Structures are given as C-alpha cells and as structure tokens.
Amino acid sequence: MAEPKAPLYRPEEINLLVPFNQKRTYDMEQIMARLFDGSEHMEYRPDYGPEVYCGLAKVDGFAVGVIANRQGFLGKDYPGYADGKYMGIGGKLYREGLIKMNELVMFCGRDCLPLIWFQDTSGIDVGDIAEQAELLGLGQSLIYSIESSHVPMMCVVLRKGTAAAHYIMGGPQATRNNAFTLGVGTTEIYVMHGETAAAAAFARRLVKEKDAERPLEPVIDKMNALAQQYHDQSRPVYCAQAGLVDEIVPMASMRDYFVGFARCCYQNPRRICPQHQMLLPRAIKG
C-alpha cells in the first residue's frame, strides 16, 4: 500500500481516446494513464505476447493486477506458430498472450492481489493452425487458474466482449471470482459480429438460390434481419438488462468503481501477502 495519487491525466479524456468505430485502434497505456495512481504501472513480460497487457498498477494506493487487450497490427512474424501464413492483430488472443495471462493470474493468486480486466477482444485465434498450437487447451488452463486463484476480480468490457475470449478474460459467465462487471457506452457482447453470423448462416443458401436463378432479395432480407438482431442484442442497455454486465457507467467514472473495488478487497481480505514475500514485483524487475 502507498499514499493515494490521482492520475496525471483527466479520466474524462478517455471519451476521446476510445473510438466507437470498432475498426479504429487506440493505445491501452493511454487509457491506463487516466485511471491508475500517478498514471504509473509495471508491465509484466512486455516483450512476450504483445496482444495483451499484463502488469501491476495502484488504485487509491492499493496494488492490483491488470490484464487488457491491445489493438493494432502485431507484426508480420507474430504469432510465431503461424509461420507467416497470417499476421496477428490486436484484440485477438494467441498462444503467447494466453500463456502470459495465465502466468499473471497465477502470480496474483500467489500474492493475493485483486485483478482488473479490460476486454476489447474479437476472440481466440481459430483454424487448423490454432488447433495445432493448442489454444483451446490454454484457454481452459486460464479458466482453471482463475478459479484456483481465489482473488476477487473486476471486469470492464471496454468495447468488444466476444465468444470464448469474453469468458476466459474475467467474464462473469465463466468464473466465481468475478465480483463486478462494468459496461460503458461502447460495450458490445456477442458470440460473433452480426454480419459474420449472417454470412455463416446464409452463405450456402445464397449459392443455391443463385444456381437456381431465383431472386436473392428474400435471403438478403433475412441476412439483414439476423445482423440487426445481433446488433440490437449486443447494445450496452441490452447487456445490462440481460445481466451480462452489472452496470453501464460513463468512462470517466470507471476509476471511482476501481477505488471502491480495491478498498473492498483490502478491507476484509482472506489474507494479505507480506510485501517482502510478493513474487510478481520481483518477477517484473528480474
């Protein structure tokens, strides 16, 4: 614990930093600089698993673990298991990111540190190459580590919470440790994007109708209706009504909820790890 510090930058600026357009990227460190004490953090393994941020920060003087999705292209050589067949993009989870998250959860459980998750994920990498890289097994291992950590966790769906990635990143549907889930104005939670679902459901039907030289408009209308349904049932208000998030809050208010969460965690903890026995800060410093 330390003396509480306000962030160096105003939390209201997050409204300008997080684009509503899902195709636009942003810098997760800039978001953190407006939420945590002194705009400071300690990143765990910054040269490994670039699609996720893992590290330590302080809220109201209390140490917390932080895990967040990063956005943008990750380089032509990442993920390594793809051997250049495709490039990694932020928001998606790959082998290294899953391993790094698992390690941080393990350390936070060992050091009795509560965890804050920031979700903006389009899901776990899929396909034959991803299957050979054992990504599903790593996701299962992450859920097991979360359940075994016995530390309280808070989740913020900053933009996208998609499919299995929503569950394994501190989502309330897959963990007993989730104490609170926040949604904001840009929150979306779904199995997949509506347009993707419509294409998957009606692609073969379109081909059959075209081969039979029948009009395609009736099928296209059904595709549009399905995409609209996915859109309507992924909005922030629907997520709150369906219990997918506990509350929808202004982005500038997220820190207030973090302060309440951290105070509750440290007010009546099961145990507190002595500072000289904490492994995670020493692992970060090397």
Return the pLDDT at 254.
Answer: 97
* Average pLDDT value for the chain: 93
Q: What is the mean pLDDT of residues 255-284?
A: 90
pLDDT at 270 exceeding the cut of 90 = no
Query: Which tens digit of pLDDT belongs to each residue from 140-150?
Result: 999 999 999 99
67 and 197 in one domain?
no
Query: Which tens digit of pLDDT belongs to each residue from 64-112?
Result: 999 999 999 998 899 999 999 999 999 999 999 999 999 999 999 999 9
210 and 182 in one domain?
no
Q: What is the DSSP string of 119-167?
A: EEE-EE--SHHHHHTTHHHHHHHHHHHHHHH---EEEEEEEEEEHHHHH
Query: Which tens digit of pLDDT belongs to each residue from 36-70?
Result: 999 999 999 999 999 999 999 999 999 999 999 99
- pLDDT-derived band of residue 274, with 50, 70 and 90 as boundaries? confident
80 and 17 in one domain?
yes
Q: What is the mean pLDDT of residues 167-193?
A: 90
> How far is the CA of 108 from the CAs of 85, 112, 166, 266, in angstroms?
35, 6, 20, 14
The answer as to whether 49 is a domain residue is: yes
Return the pLDDT at 53.
Answer: 98
Cis peptide before 46 (omega within 30 of 0): no
Question: How far is Cα 180 from Cα 197, in angstroms, rounded to an integer?
Answer: 29
Q: What is the mean pLDDT of residues 131-135?
A: 93
Comparing 117 with 285, the larger pLDDT belongs to 117
pLDDT at 174 exceeding the cut of 90 = no
30 and 156 in one domain?
yes
pLDDT at 228 exceeding the cut of 80 = yes
Return the pLDDT at 192.
Answer: 86
103 and 196 in one domain?
no
The answer as to whether 279 is a domain residue is: no
201 and 86 in one domain?
no
52 and 114 in one domain?
yes
Q: Are 201 and 226 in contact (CB under 8 A)?
A: yes
Return the pLDDT at 85.
Answer: 93
The answer as to whether 69 is a domain residue is: yes
pLDDT at 1 exceeding the cut of 80 = no
The answer as to whether 274 is a domain residue is: no
Q: What is the mean pLDDT of residues 241-258?
A: 95
- pLDDT-derived band of residue 273, with 50, 70 and 90 as boundaries? confident
113 and 24 in one domain?
yes
Query: Which tens digit of pLDDT belongs to each residue from 183-215?
Result: 999 999 998 888 889 999 999 999 999 999 999
The answer as to whether 214 is a domain residue is: yes
Count: domains in the chain: 2
CATH number at residue 71: 3.90.226.10
115 and 211 in one domain?
no
206 and 75 in one domain?
no
48 and 28 in one domain?
yes
The answer as to whether 278 is a domain residue is: no
- How many helices and strands, by DSSP H and E, does the chain display? 11, 10
The answer as to whether 136 is a domain residue is: yes
223 and 97 in one domain?
no
Domain span holding position 218 = 192-233
The answer as to whether 260 is a domain residue is: yes
Element (H, E) at 201: helix 194-211
> How far is the CA of 202 from the CAs of 29, 166, 206, 222, in angstroms?
40, 26, 6, 8
Strand partners, 93: 124
Return the pLDDT at 269.
Answer: 79
